Amino acid sequence: MQNNVLILDFGSQYTQLIAGRVRELNIFCEIKPYNKLPGDLSEYKAVILSGSPHSVRAGDAPHPDLSNIKGKKPLTGVCYGAQYLAHFNGGNVEKSNTREYGRAKLAKLYEEDPFLNDIEVGSQVWMSHADTIKNLPDNSILLASTYDVENAAFKFIGEDTYGIQFHP
């Protein structure tokens, strides 16, 4: 198996920045449109779901079939990607009372998890969203909150599947 990472692009303005960060770690990554999922995923070690200008609450929300990925490969949803993972797995995403754009700080870390190694309370993150995850799916645990966003990071129990509301 290769060390390649697949980034599924939902139209985010930050997708290229995500790819740049992955490449800075000397990991090859490819960006593919969310609706052009490769048939053969064996060359990818992990998948990242990008953000999006869309809302998961909309009837025409981008909605790829992740059945060959989620629970089978490490998967991280960023912003819309996190909302997607929550919404389509039994959580609740709602319009946020306050649109959060710009810098935020992690206010709480709830669980020790390798995903958040070397991340500390007070770490600065970047937010850009109008929807928020009100309730996590039953089979997930909360990992981090900001001062304004309770469900800023979460993990599905028994999987290497994560959601982060912020942009890394």
Domain spans in the chain, listed from the N-terminal domain onward: 4-164
- pLDDT of 136: 97
Amino acid at 148: D
- Predicted TM-score of the model (pTM): 0.92
1-53 pLDDT tens trace:
457 999 999 998 889 989 999 999 999 999 999 999 998 999 999 999 998 88
- pLDDT of 41: 94
- pLDDT of 98: 64
Q: Is the dihedral of CA 34, 55, 139, 156 positive or negative?
A: positive
Q: How far is CA 88 from CA 11, 67, 94, in A?
A: 19, 12, 13
Distance of CA 142 to the CA centre of its chain: 13
85-139 pLDDT tens trace:
999 999 999 887 766 666 888 888 887 889 988 888 878 787 776 788 999 999 9
What's the DSSP call for residue 73?
Answer: B
Q: For domain 4-164, give the fold.
A: Rossmann fold (3.40.50)
- pLDDT of 99: 61
